[in-house]
């Protein structure tokens, strides 16, 4: 008999769209729910995982949301025991600052988690309060020590460029804290304005709630982002994706699967899966998910995906000959505009192109 070969390629995403409070800037499918709904949801999530046909063992696991760091440690351990392949190459949980205890951190490690993503967003108290968060810079500093004492040295810190009242001096203060804490990975997101967040809706209506009147302009937000690129590079934390920076070897292996179009499977409300050919999306809302509504399956042109997802990586992509021909005109136009560059068959965004990446990606979507 020939031995069975099990591939350790795909990743697993577990969606937990529950939060203690809804942040003003958040446009994710997460919210505050009664405790009994969370219990029912965890039961439904476990049923979905049990029903999956495991023809492979996951390489990476990512718990996002929402705030999965708030899941009871015993319930979390029971959920993760349903996944094959432990120890995983990388297992990440998203956590809100102000909720980490030594007991929780040790329980995460016992469950197979060894990477934490902290939704800090800012280290400046006035900015933090306007988002709806309750932590302080010293809270984050203390909890980072708790993580390290528990054996979790691999952690990410999220920052947002463009929060209400943010200035060059205050954003620099947050970057000073990054230098002090010395994380392996940092994510820097430029504030998104859309109607799916309370702050975005207020901005679009011209209102002043949630500090909307004090949101920096687009040029200032871009300047904050560029400041982060430079400061983080000086710390040895290089940009490897538009919003993600890491010390060499500490890049997020799970998220790289998305950008490199590698397979992954998602469980839970609004979770997505990709088998290399087609995408599947679970029911978007918690109510629909609990009612066992059908999800959606969508086939997307591979060439288009490679361009608007793969180009997010600073290493760029290597288009096939037919892709060079198909997108010849927009590529030439963006190269001449200084937004794209080519070298030895590789196509990538320039530093300026990163700031106008949405415009670049949209062209490839509609070409």
**To which residue do tokens 């430029």 refer?**
190
Helix/strand/coil for 362: helix
pLDDT at 145 over 80: yes
d(CA 364, CA 299): 17
Percent of the chain with pLDDT over 90: 70
pLDDT at 367 over 70: no
pLDDT digits (tens, 9 = 90+) for 161-171: 999 889 999 99
Q: What is the pLDDT of residue 317?
A: 95
β 238-241/244-246 pair status = antiparallel
pLDDT at 202 over 70: no
**Structural domain boundaries in the chain:** 11-258, 301-367
pLDDT at 7 over 70: no
Helices 357-366 and 302-310: angle between axes, nearest 10 degrees:
180
Q: Which residue has the higher pLDDT, 63 or 295?
A: 63
Q: What is the pLDDT of residue 4?
A: 36
d(CA 326, CA 320): 10
Q: What is the pLDDT of residue 108?
A: 98
d(CA 90, CA 92): 7
Give the residue among 96, 113, 95 at the shortest CA–CA distance from 150.
113
d(CA 117, CA 187): 9
Q: What is the pLDDT of residue 197?
A: 59
d(CA 159, CA 228): 10
pLDDT at 263 over 50: yes
Give the residue among 221, 213, 118, 217 at the shortest CA–CA distance from 161.
221
Query: Confidence band (pLDDT; 50, 70, 90) for 254?
Result: very high
Q: Around 324, how many Cα atoms within 13 Å sit in the side-chain half-sphere?
A: 10
**Assigned superfamily of 11-258:** Aldolase class I (3.20.20.70)
Q: What is the DSSP string of 102-130?
A: HHHHHHHHHTT--EEEEEEE-S-HHHHHH
Tokens of 72: 């009871």
Q: What is the pLDDT of residue 221?
A: 94
pLDDT at 185 over 90: yes
pLDDT digits (tens, 9 = 90+) for 54-64: 988 999 999 99
Query: Confidence band (pLDDT; 50, 70, 90) for 305?
Result: confident
User: Which H or E run contains 238?
Assistant: strand 238-241
Q: Give the CATH fold of the 301-367 domain.
A: Arc Repressor Mutant, subunit A (1.10.10)
**To which residue do tokens 């007991």 refer?**
103
Q: What is the pLDDT of residue 2?
A: 37
Beta bridge partners of 15: 64
């Amino acid at each position: 008999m020939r031995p069975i070969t099990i591939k350790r390629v795909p990743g697993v995403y577990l969606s937990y769209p529950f939060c203690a409070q809804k942040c003003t800037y958040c446009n994710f499918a997460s919210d505050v729910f009664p405790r009994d709904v969370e219990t029912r949801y965890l039961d439904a999530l476990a049923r979905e995982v049990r029903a999956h046909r495991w023809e492979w063992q996951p390489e990476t696991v990512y718990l996002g949301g929402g705030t999965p760091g708030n899941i009871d440690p015993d319930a979390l351990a029971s959920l993760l025991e349903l996944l094959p392949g432990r120890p995983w190459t990388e297992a990440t949980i998203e956590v809100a600052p102000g909720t980490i205890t030594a007991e929780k951190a040790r329980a995460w490690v016992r469950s197979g988690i060894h990477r934490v993503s902290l939704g800090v967003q800012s280290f400046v108290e006035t900015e933090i309060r306007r988002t709806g968060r309750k932590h302080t810079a010293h809270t984050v500093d203390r909890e980072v020590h708790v993580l390290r004492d528990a054996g979790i040295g691999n952690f990410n810190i999220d920052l947002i460029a463009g929060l209400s009242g943010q200035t060059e001096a205050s954003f620099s203060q947050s970057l000073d804290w990054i230098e002090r804490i010395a994380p392996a990975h940092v994510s820097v997101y430029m504030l998104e304005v859309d109607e799916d967040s309370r702050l975005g809706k207020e901005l679009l209506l011209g209102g002043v709630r949630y500090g909307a009147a004090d949101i920096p302009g687009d040029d200032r937000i871009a300047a904050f982002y560029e400041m982060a690129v430079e400061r983080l590079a000086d710390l040895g934390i290089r940009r490897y994706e538009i919003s993600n920076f890491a010390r060499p070897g500490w890049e997020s292996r799970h998220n790289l699967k998305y950008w490199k179009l590698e397979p992954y499977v998602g469980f839970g409300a609004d979770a997505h899966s990709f088998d290399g050919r087609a995408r599947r999306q679970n029911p978007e809302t918690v109510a629909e998910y609990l009612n066992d509504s059908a999800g959606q399956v969508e086939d997307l042109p591979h060439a288009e995906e490679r361009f608007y997802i793969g180009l997010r990586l600073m290493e760029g992509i290597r288009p096939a000959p037919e892709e060079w021909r198909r997108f010849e005109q927009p590529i030439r136009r963006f190269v001449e505009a200084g937004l794209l560059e080519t070298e030895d068959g590789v196509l990538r965004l320039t530093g300026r192109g990163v700031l106008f990446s949405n415009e670049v990606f949209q062209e490839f979507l509609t070409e």
